[in-house]
Structure 1
Amino acid sequence: MMSLNSNPEKSSSSEHSGSLISRASISVLEDQSIDSFKMKLSSSVSPPLAKVMSKGDQAFLLLAFIACTTSVAFTSFVITAVPTLLAMGRAASSFAKLADTARQELPSTLAAIRLSGMEISDLTLELSELSHEVTEGVNKSAKAVQAAEAGIRQIGTLAHQQTLSMIDERASLPEISLQPVVAGAAKKTSHAIGRASKTLMNIITGGGDKDEDS
């Protein structure tokens, strides 16, 4: 009976120790499997990462990034510069049209300006000649007025002298008849007035000296 009782205890202890051993072996196996998995994973991942992080690849990636950034900046610059370029093109075409118009109209404008200058100079000359003629006419008119005044004075003196001489002659004659005396006096007076008017006309026209000499 004691042997039977001792066997179950041994069997239970052996079972307990077996379970501990099995658990320990399982944990060891798990640790080994995890370590081996990590080793495999590190061995499978580390070579591509090493390749990616090489200096040549880093330089290539940097150049690619710079190229992309430059292309994006250039594209944005072109997009923003298109309206400005179009405006510059329109301004250039407008300037070209203005230059063509000026080239076509400038000769006619210069000819018109030259013609206007010639007309102004001719008008100035005509005005100067007209002013000279007006001055000469005024001077001639003043001379004619002076000559008329002198002729009137001469006519007055001649008529006065003729009247006085006729009065003296008639005073010295005997008293015969008044009608022939009055008729003769009227004739002489009219003759004197005619001579005086003729002399005045000659003085005004400038031929008074010739008539008086004749």
Structure 2
Amino acid sequence: MGRAAVSLSKLADTAREELPGTMAAIRLSGMEISDLTLELSDLSQEIAGGVNKSVKAVQAAKAGIWQIGSLARQQTMSMIQERASLPVISLQPVVSGAARKTSHAVGQATKTIMNIINQGE
């Protein structure tokens, strides 16, 4: 019984010496884990924001492309319809005019898309 009491006393002394340091280390680890969790949360929110901005820029570019394509198609079709009744000899200027207008519309579309992309950044 005496040996058990001595062993228990030694165990209590060891626990008294080691336990405060161990508990402090555990608290510090918990605080570090909490800080890392907050940093990861902030980082994920920043990434989500960047992705959302990219999606909006792509959607705006797509809308611009559709709008300019539609405009170019309408202008080309109206020009062709206006000149459909002209004699064959006079169609060459019509075709070159349509090509010029289409080229201009594509150039405008390119500028608009680049502006949209640059604004998204």
Superposed pair shares fold, TM > 0.5 = yes
Measured in 2, the distance between the counterparts of 1:99 and 1:120 equals 31
1:103 to 3, 10, 16: 16
Tell me the residue number matched to 1:143: 56
- Is 136-145 or 193-202 further displaced after alignment? 136-145
Whether the 8 Å CA contact 2:60–2:116 is kept in 1: the answer is: yes
Whether the 8 Å CA contact 2:72–2:102 is kept in 1: the answer is: yes
Tell me the residue number matched to 2:41: 128
- CA shift for structure 1 position 138: 4.4
Whether the 8 Å CA contact 2:83–2:91 is kept in 1: the answer is: no
Tell me the number of residue pairs that the alignment of Structure 1 and Structure 2 aligns: 119
Whether the 8 Å CA contact 1:155–1:197 is kept in 2: the answer is: no
Tell me the residue number matched to 2:77: 164
1:77-123 per-residue CA deviation (whole Å, 9 max, x = no partner) reads: xxxxxxxxxx2x21222123212322332233122212211122112
Tell me the residue number matched to 1:113: 26
- CA shift for structure 1 position 176: 4.3
Describe how 1:17-96 pairs up with structure 2 within 5 A.
87=1, 89-96=2-9
Measured in 2, the distance between the counterparts of 1:196 and 1:165 equals 19
Measured in 1, the distance between the counterparts of 2:51 and 2:91 equals 54
1:199 and 2:112 matched? yes
With normalisation by structure 2, the TM-score equals 0.70
Whether the 8 Å CA contact 2:79–2:98 is kept in 1: the answer is: yes
1:185 and 2:95 matched? no
1:163-192 per-residue CA deviation (whole Å, 9 max, x = no partner) reads: 1354367569874472x5544432332221
Whether the 8 Å CA contact 2:57–2:117 is kept in 1: the answer is: yes
Q: What is the identity percentage for the equivalent residue pairs of Structure 1 and Structure 2?
A: 74
With normalisation by structure 1, the TM-score equals 0.44
The higher-RCO structure (CA 8 Å, 6+ apart) is 2
Which protein shows a greater Rg?
Answer: 1
